[in-house]
Homo-oligomer: A and B are copies of this chain.
Amino acid sequence: MKKSPCKRNDAYAAMCTCRDMLDVLAQRWTALAIGAMEEGPQRFGQLRSRLEGISPKVLTQTLRRLEDKGLVIRTVYAEVPARVEYELTPLVRSAAEPLSALRTWAEMNSVRPSTSV
């Protein structure tokens, strides 16, 4: 998919604003990656082991997308060997509440998860 066809009216446009977030959040590892950073900055390798099964390429993609949206900050330390840390921005933390509401809704309504556990 490339672009959403959002040009019909305000309601649709507003829905699309949120859809853009959903686009990112719904990607395979995004929510898990955010979860893995919740307790503080994480190095690439740490994320890689916490997100068991993710390939380095996909982890990079996931982190770049989060970075592009301003949800994660990437910090490179001039050390040898290289050290890079990823941390959540206040922006993504402020999303916790609406996301939590959505999660609660999903649980309360027993939306059958095809994924969890």
What distance in Å separates the Cβ of A42 from its nearest Cβ neighbour in chain B? 14
Bound-complex Cα distance A12 to B117 (A) = 9
Residues of chain B lying within 8 A (CB to CB) of residue A6: 32, 113, 115-117
Classify the secondary structure of A's interface with B: helix
Of B11, B70, B106, which one neighbours A21 at CB under 8 angstroms?
A: B106
A14 touches B (CB below 8 Å): yes
A-B contacts, 18 listed (Cβ < 8 Å): A6-B116, A6-B117, A8-B50, A11-B35, A14-B103, A15-B31, A15-B103, A16-B115, A18-B31, A19-B113, A20-B111, A20-B112, A20-B114, A22-B22, A69-B111, A70-B111, A94-B105, A98-B102
